[in-house]
């Protein structure tokens, strides 16, 4: 199976076969087929297994703590890979560049998080940092914390981004109110809030990437 995976880049592998192959590295010299099927029965699919915490994975028969920790590393590893790759593009010329830059920060997140992207006037990236972590349905966007972070980084242009886990990338009434308040506060401090992006964990059929909406394009800044 390992040879087949290398030769095909996993093309044609069923979800349980991918898990069976991965488990074989964490549990050597053991038939991992039954454990792979048990994971799919318990959680539903490969992506759901990969988004499950290690302590829950370890409860499945035949998995154990070491294999569970191994499987739980794949999503953070991919997120780190995607962030590392996108950071090579330091100048964000247009809206799509900003969306592509921020997308990796929200891959596989199961709680709401708010990120602040700071740019200079040439739209070069100064910093991108998490300013809030909440629950699966709410994150408190404290304007003072966000403004202080932007001022500390000496940003001229800023973009706010947060996610809606297990939900669509649609702005709530609170999202709209917060965005307008932040835009005014940034303006008073001599900075520009260029956009507020909301990411979901829904996959866009055209791009194959997680979807997002721009509140500026949606008219929220007016």
Per the domain annotation, does 195 fall within a domain? yes
Q: What pLDDT score was predicted for residue 190?
A: 93
State whether 58 and 93 are in the same domain. Answer: no
Are β-strands 113-119 and 192-203 bridged in parallel, bridged antiparallel, or unpaired? unpaired
List the end-to-end C-alpha distance of the chain, in Å, as a whole number. Answer: 56
State whether 175 and 143 are in the same domain. Answer: yes
State whether 161 and 130 are in the same domain. Answer: yes
State whether 104 and 196 are in the same domain. Answer: yes
For residue 57, what is the domain's CATH number?
Answer: 1.10.150.20
DSSP 204: P
Per the domain annotation, does 185 fall within a domain? yes
Q: What pLDDT score was predicted for residue 207?
A: 62
State whether 93 and 65 are in the same domain. Answer: no
Q: What is the DSSP string of 42-106?
A: HHSSHHHHHTS-HHHHTTSTTTHHHHHHHHHTHHHHHHHHHHHHHTT--B--SHHHHHHHHGGGG
In this structure, is the dihedral angle defined by the CA atoms of residues 56, 53, 163 and 142, taken in order, positive or negative? positive
Where does residue 195 rank: exposed (0-12), middle (13-18), buried (19+ CB within 10 A)?
Answer: buried
Q: What pLDDT score was predicted for residue 9?
A: 81
- Give the end of a domain, one of 43, 72, 101: 72
- Give the end of a domain, one of 72, 97, 121: 72
Per the domain annotation, does 82 fall within a domain? no
Q: What pLDDT score was predicted for residue 161?
A: 95
State whether 65 and 107 are in the same domain. Answer: no
Q: What pLDDT score was predicted for residue 208?
A: 65
State whether 112 and 190 are in the same domain. Answer: yes
Task: Spell out the residues 6+ positions from residue 8 whose beta carbon is closer than 8 angstroms to its own.
Answer: none
Q: What pLDDT score was predicted for residue 206?
A: 58
Per the domain annotation, does 220 fall within a domain? no
State whether 165 and 58 are in the same domain. Answer: no
State whether 66 and 93 are in the same domain. Answer: no
State whether 62 and 104 are in the same domain. Answer: no
Neighbours of 44 (CB within 10 A): 12
Per the domain annotation, does 79 fall within a domain? no
Average the pLDDT over 203-212 and give the result.
70
Per the domain annotation, does 190 fall within a domain? yes
| pTM summary value | 0.67
State whether 43 and 152 are in the same domain. Answer: no
State whether 200 and 98 are in the same domain. Answer: yes
For residue 141, what is the domain's CATH number?
Answer: 3.40.140.10
Average the pLDDT over 139-159 and give the result.
90
Coil, helix or strand at residue 221: coil
Per the domain annotation, does 113 fall within a domain? yes
Per the domain annotation, does 44 fall within a domain? yes
Q: Which domain holds residue 41?
A: 2-72
Q: What pLDDT score was predicted for residue 80?
A: 83
How many structural domains are present in the chain?
A: 2
Over 60: is that where the pLDDT of 89 sits? no
Q: 97-107: per-residue pLDDT in tens?
A: 899 899 888 88
Over 90: is that where the pLDDT of 85 sits? no
Average the pLDDT over 143-156 and give the result.
92
């Amino acid at each position: 199976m390992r040879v087949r995976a290398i030769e095909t880049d996993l093309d044609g592998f069923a979800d349980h076969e991918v898990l069976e192959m991965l488990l074989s590295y964490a549990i050597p010299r053991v038939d991992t087929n039954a454990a792979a099927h048990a994971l799919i029965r318990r959680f539903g699919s490969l992506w759901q297994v990969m988004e499950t915490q290690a302590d829950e994975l370890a409860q499945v028969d035949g998995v154990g703590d070491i294999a569970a920790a191994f499987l739980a590393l794949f999503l953070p590893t991919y997120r780190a890979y995607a962030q590392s790759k996108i950071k090579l593009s330091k100048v964000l010329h247009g809206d799509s560049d900003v969306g592509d830059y921020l997308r990796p920060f929200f891959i596989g997140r199961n709680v709401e998080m708010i990120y602040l992207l700071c740019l200079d006037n040439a739209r070069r990236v100064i910093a991108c940092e998490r300013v809030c972590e909440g629950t699966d349905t709410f994150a408190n966007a404290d304007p003072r914390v966000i403004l202080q972070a932007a001022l500390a980084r000496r940003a001229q242009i800023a973009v706010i981004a947060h996610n809606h886990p297990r939900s669509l990338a649609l702005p709530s009434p609170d999202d709209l109110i917060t965005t307008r308040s932040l835009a005014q506060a940034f303006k008073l401090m001599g900075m520009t809030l260029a956009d507020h992006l909301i990411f979901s964990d829904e996959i866009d059929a055209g791009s194959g990437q997680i979807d997002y909406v721009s509140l500026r394009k949606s008219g929220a800044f007016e």
